A and B are shown apart, each in its own frame.
Chain A
């Protein structure tokens, strides 16, 4: 949330917002019940997860390649997992409670232990 609400005389005319895209200050990742875990070894870089992500929460590197999931904003809807076409799937959902306190690397090993 904004640190302090604006006074009536501080609000711009027409309730204009000066800073574009400032909703990035609001973290929607806390809504998540499940989280997607990414396996770069089986990922085929089709970018379907990126094109279908409702929250722009797929990280993209400078070459336009998938580079992980942004857990600050990911709401855990699971569309990326559903649409992942690689076999075996390079994205899998796990419960947020199970992910607690574990590093991304640990989670990856745990979730994808059966896949290569």
Chain B
């Protein structure tokens, strides 16, 4: 891949002036996407689901997008982009359009894990050519940190608060990559903005595939998770180094782990700087950290074993 100096010369796809919180990584992720997309070879069309990113970059009468961008509703980013893609294919077939275009849908975890799951599943099943990027910030941060199915175990949110009776969210988070992978699509991956080279490689791979692709990206949220804005990238790095957020890809059912930390850090390193986990460090809650570690370890072991198997689908 080109050096950052080369990428920095390119025209930005997402410009300044958006109203995301200081230290928000939504725009960091999208800027990395545009940096690696080969915009000299194809144009890009983006559809967005409702969420922080949509409301702060598309605040009427302003837009921060330098590319065609469309928003309809919360649940249907995937349906919207499949409609646009179907129209593009029809026009191309009729000879009314001869441009190369790539389609990207952007949503957060609310619009992917919960509300948009049905639309996403349908769009992947129909086999449209699009890349779906889920910026996972672990809750409905746009409306003020309500629990979603992406919220991790023991995470405190406004609808799963910790207190005398409860300790935050009781259920573990949903393993969305496995759900998406069940559609047997050509490419699924999980990435983090802290490891920009890895993220860019995955985006490039996904955009070159003729078919539906899905990338799950960690999006540390300074306001909802409760850490100082300057730590955003550091938190993402800690999530990767503690294996809370493993970087891996699934190519036709075969798991490839892209980053194995030399020294796997204990989850406390990741939990400690975040206010939403502050109650775990109170006396008497040690078992919750143990449980958190157990869940992370189990998932990591499972991934390692799957990589070792190296089995592909027979299609």
Contact = CB atoms under 8 A, between A and B. Distances in A.
Interface string A55-79: 1110010111100001011011111
Given A23-B17, A51-B31, A54-B20, 14 more contacts: A17-B62, A17-B63, A21-B63, A26-B19, A31-B22, A54-B27, A54-B31, A60-B9, A64-B8, A65-B5, A76-B22, A78-B23, A81-B230, A93-B230
Nearest to A36: B230
7 contacts: A24-B17, A56-B27, A64-B5, A64-B8, A64-B9, A79-B230, A79-B232
Nearest to B57: A23
Contacts of B61: 2, 6, 17, 22
Given A20-B63, A45-B5, A56 B12 contact: yes
Contacts of B231: 82
Contacts of A76: 22
Interface in A85-116: 93
A35 to B, nearest CB: 12
Contacts of A56: 12, 14-16, 27, 31
A77 B66 contact: no
B65 interface: yes
The majority secondary structure among interface residues of chain A is loop
B23 A79 contact: yes
Contacts of B57: 23
Interface in B13-52: 14-20, 22-28, 31-32, 35
B134 to A, nearest CB: 18
What 9 A-B pairs have minimum CB-CB distances, sorted nearest first? Answer: A78-B230, A23-B17, A77-B23, A64-B5, A73-B16, A47-B4, A75-B22, A77-B22, A77-B229
Interface residues of A, number: 45
A72 B15 CA distance: 13
Nearest to B16: A73
A85 B22 CA distance: 21
B59 interface: yes
Given A50-B8, A64-B5, A83 B23 contact: no
A35 B18 CA distance: 18
A53 interface: yes
A53 B59 CA distance: 21
Given A2-B61, A23-B64, A64-B6, A51 B16 contact: no
Contact of A50 (B4, B14, B16, B63): B4
B63 to A, nearest CB: 5
Contacts of A72: 16
A25 interface: yes
B117 interface: no
A42 interface: no
B131 interface: no
Contact of B28 (A19, A22, A32, A53): A53
A5 to B, nearest CB: 8
B232 A77 contact: yes
A38 B41 CA distance: 35
Contact of B66 (A20, A26, A81): A20
B227 to A, nearest CB: 12
B62 A25 contact: yes
Interface string A33-46: 00000000000011
